[in-house]
Structure 1
């Protein structure tokens, strides 16, 4: 048995935190400064974390290695299982030519790439986040943007930056449901509180997107569309999460925001349409794409357009049916939970650590439901089995380095979590007293930056947030929600999402370049959310916290 230690370095929480932060700092330096490939940077950081776990924290070598294997397994299932099957559905639409129809349908709404970025990266990406999450919207929307003429780097940056405000309610609100389990707080109350934070963030994200596309001119000329998109999304997310259904918050918000922009551009247009030379996926940034010339000129039949949207309608239908209580309970019978072999770890207080339990939810995981949606899509689009299998092979080949990166990063996360390194960092920050309200979102941001998952970050720090809130006399609901809301901003800089984005746009090995483009926005939004959390903990905005 291994008992976690909080302050192994000179019995000091501060010194121990400095040491515990080394793997994370090293990971970000390797990615952002030294431009090391994501999977190599992850492997090096994993090795350093293992050394610290054994030599500093006193974790037995066998247990440290087993912690890494559990993390790698979790990285594949359920996270990669969701991404792989979601990208496979996308590949089916490419094989049949229906992705081009979908692309032209979006382009027909507006030939201005700034409007397209808002519609696709934000609204459509939010819908994908709501249904699947775990990197799916980044992969699909970045490719779609490239097909509309965006350069690979810009497409990746847009997809990552847009994947923020919807994340807390992603995968049918899985992060918030998980947060409710680990904190023993009502899911509806937590969802309502998150729904009073991320909608405010959503107002600004579309403005940032048009700024990324075309700088200040883009903001000046297209702010009506960006503001309408952000405000309608925010209102939809707030109203749905507070008064209707927490799991459906992103679905409603995404559809409403897209509809609002489509209606707006029928009566209003920017002073001039912006576009830039298109590129070939994986090619040089200035290479013209042969598809770009016909992206608006080609006229598709209504039947073709219906078929192009059919896969996403099928996905929505499958996910909604699987959320029905009776169906969910039936599917849950295939869930298997067991302790990871060889891991015997207790917390500093002597209680068993829940992370050592591995859950194999074969049928309730969104990945399996996405696979079912893909099979139905095969039938709807009349794709033969050999073509579908070939598309699956193409998907695996495209994501090969992303798969290695995600599994390595999750191995790193589990070694840090189970050895006590992450808990050391969290406990040190939680000792800030009343000022913890300002720091609370940083914990969530840190958790998602490491694991790439708001769900994992909530599992990791949710209970700690409640404990710190009780010690400091703060609202436990606010601090727990701030963990999830802050976590959404770590999504764009997490190595697993960077790897998925790089693989999607054909920039394998350039994750560090993408990281440097998005880290600034991640930090700016994080400062904003920290200020919001602090104000909501004070008399100024305390009325926003549900009682």
Structure 2
């Protein structure tokens, strides 16, 4: 028997004009309603995974399907369905893409000023040992890039840097793909977590806190995996010290920052502290093979002159944007300042969305309301940090604005994709399509906690984005959790945590990695080399999350 009883809809309707959600709308059957509700997701997954249609076209096709299902299958008025889609698209632009654009803008300014090359050489000079370089560049610096940019940038840039340091292209690509795991959930200033909180209606801090008690387990052993990929068992035996040290510091920093300090800063703090830990260990054991160092030499075209070491001032300037971001976000959290900036809020009921839940009570969640603390949102804080960084990096106002414009142009298809996926998710949520799927999914009972990260993994493997997977499946996970009597924040977080392990398999990331190291057409080779790591880590994470739903690890829940 399904864990839900359909209410007498006509009697419960609060007003003649309200749309009352009914997960049994198609033929009076929950199973049939859920089957029809899967169509929008199936369209997206098939177009992306099987037919390899570009992401924005697949998302648009999924949105059209969701609208048709909402109107024809669930009886939602056309105007209300379109309004829900516009609501989701607008949320995709502000604050989601507002964060992404300004984060990537800061990174692009470091490239435009030549200080990215200084940063790359600085990382390379910390150790000439390949195993340590893999940890510093792919894991630590890759996590920093994920924190600021995401959307494939960490894989591409890390792979190019590793090739420049002497790694074989195929190995550089594999290392970069595997390293891009633990930081992904909090990537792009925590955009995936912010999206997850929005579509589920759960408090942001509650969702982030739970993810911060799952993904650190991955961080503990990913650096060791990288060392093994570089140099096999011998590498693990000889270079386990920096790998373990890096993983432990990253895991602790990710947990502490996401739970107690600042959700958007999670990966920035964790990446910088883990890199500092490796550097400190190298200074403590200077004679170890993994700690061997080479001088930092500037190449022509950078701030320094050819064959001359970068000056300490230029190295400090290269790191300055990331320090500025931390300072700006930290100031925004200070008592007094936080209350002031949070009070500047844009909040209103989204027009033409008069919706009641299956119980007949009007919805008051983010499905029908829009809210944005426009000054304290991560995107605006990044804009402020970017303006300060432009001055520090020596870019004039014209170059900084031109770089911002180029950043928007570079992201134009990603902007369309994210806005469309959010529109699709909001239509499914508003029309009760997600509720129907979630109630069926809840039938998995005790196995649900184990399967939840697998669903997130599948979503990211196909869409290439933890943000998109959270938008598609986040609300479904919460509905299923409520139906099965499990903590909703546990399964919502599991969707994002499991999703990070699907990123290395996504066609988009495989293509990015292959193109970055000039191995076009070798995506199949890369897939075969990383799929074992992805599935192995997914199994470990699924077991941990399943145990978190039991008294064994239930004490870990916030």
TM > 0.5 between the two? yes
- The aligned counterpart of 1:349 is 359
Pair 1:44–1:465, CA change in 2 (3 A): closer
User: Deviation at 1:482?
Assistant: 3.9
2:192–2:496 CA contact under 8 A, matched in 1: no
Task: Tell me the TM-score normalized by structure 2.
Answer: 0.77
Gaps of 5+ in 1: 274-288
Q: Of the candidates 81, 91, 101, which is equivalent to residue 98 of structure 2?
A: 81
Question: After superposition, where does 1:81-480 map in structure 2 within 5 Å?
Answer: 81-111=98-128, 114-127=131-144, 135-136=149-150, 138-139=152-153, 142-149=156-163, 161-168=178-185, 171=189, 175=193, 187=205, 194-209=211-226, 224-238=241-255, 245=261, 247=263, 250-265=267-282, 267=285, 268-269=288-289, 298-350=308-360, 351-352=362-363, 353-442=365-454, 452-453=466-467, 460=475, 464=479, 467-468=482-483, 472=485, 474=486, 478-479=490-491
Tell me, yes or no, if the aligned pair for 1:124 and 1:254 is still in contact at 8 Å: yes
**Partners in 1 of 2:197 and 2:543 — Cα distance?**
22
Q: How far 1:529 moved relative to its partner?
A: 2.2
CA positional deviation for 1:301: 0.5
Bigger mean CA deviation after superposition, 483-492 or 386-395: 483-492
In structure 2, the gaps of 5 or more residues are 1-17, 294-298
* Conserved? CA contact 1:447–1:460, under 8 Å: no
8 Å contact kept, 2:440–2:480: no
Distance 1:385 1:186 in 2: 35
Give CA-to-partner distance per residue, 1:364-414, whole Å, 9 cap, x none: 111111111111012112211121122122212222222222222222222
Question: Does 117-126 or 76-85 show the bigger shift?
Answer: 117-126
8 Å CA contact 1:447–1:456 kept in 2: the answer is no
Of 335-344 and 537-546, deviating more is 537-546
Distance 1:40 1:483, change over 3 A: closer
Contact 2:547 2:553 in 1 (8 A): yes
Q: Which moved more, 1:88-97 or 1:59-68?
A: 59-68
Is this contact kept in 2: 1:399–1:503, CA < 8 A?
A: no
Q: Tell me by how many angstroms 1:253 deviates.
A: 3.3
Q: Aligned partners of 2:173, 2:60: CA distance in 1, in Å?
A: 23
Deviates more, 1:476-485 or 1:331-340: 476-485
- Residue 323 of structure 1, CA deviation: 1.6
Across the aligned residues of Structure 1 and Structure 2, the Cα RMSD in angstroms comes to 4.5
Note closer, same or farther for the CA distance 1:212–1:45 as it changes in structure 2 (3 Å cut).
farther
What is the aligned residue count? Answer: 520
Q: For 1:153 and 1:417, how far apart are their aligned partners in 2?
A: 42
Task: Classify the secondary structure of the residue corresponding to 2:370.
Answer: strand
Corresponding residue for 1:21?
Answer: 38
Given that 1:157 and 1:514 are in contact with CA atoms closer than 8 Å, whether structure 2 keeps it comes out as no
Over residues 85-134 of structure 1, what are the superposed CA-to-partner deviations in whole Å (9 max), with x where a residue is unaligned?
1111112112211111111111112345553343234323444556x5xx
Distance 1:154 1:89, change over 3 A: farther
Counterparts of 1:246 and 1:240, CA distance in 2: 6
Q: Classify 1:204/1:479 alpha carbon distance in 2 versus 1 (closer, same or farther; 3 Å).
A: same
Asked if the contact 2:139–2:180 (Cα under 8 Å) also holds between the matched residues in 1, the reply is yes
Conserved? CA contact 1:84–1:396, under 8 Å: yes
Q: Deviations over 1:36-71 (max 9, x none)?
A: 222222222222222222222222222222222222
CA distance in 1, matches of 2:458, 2:24: 19
Distance 1:253 1:272, change over 3 A: closer
What's the TM-score, normalizing by structure 1? Answer: 0.78
Q: 1:417, CA displacement in angstroms?
A: 2.2
Question: In 2, Cα distance between the equivalents of 1:441 and 1:259?
Answer: 31
Select 1:72's aligned residue among 79, 89, 94: 89
CA distance in 1, matches of 2:278, 2:81: 51
| Aligned-partner Cα distance in 1 for 2:84–2:191 | 27
Q: 1:337·1:357 contact (CA, 8 Å) conserved in 2? A: yes
- For the pair shown, the structure with the greater C-alpha radius of gyration is 2
For residue 78 of structure 1, report the CA deviation from its aligned partner.
1.3
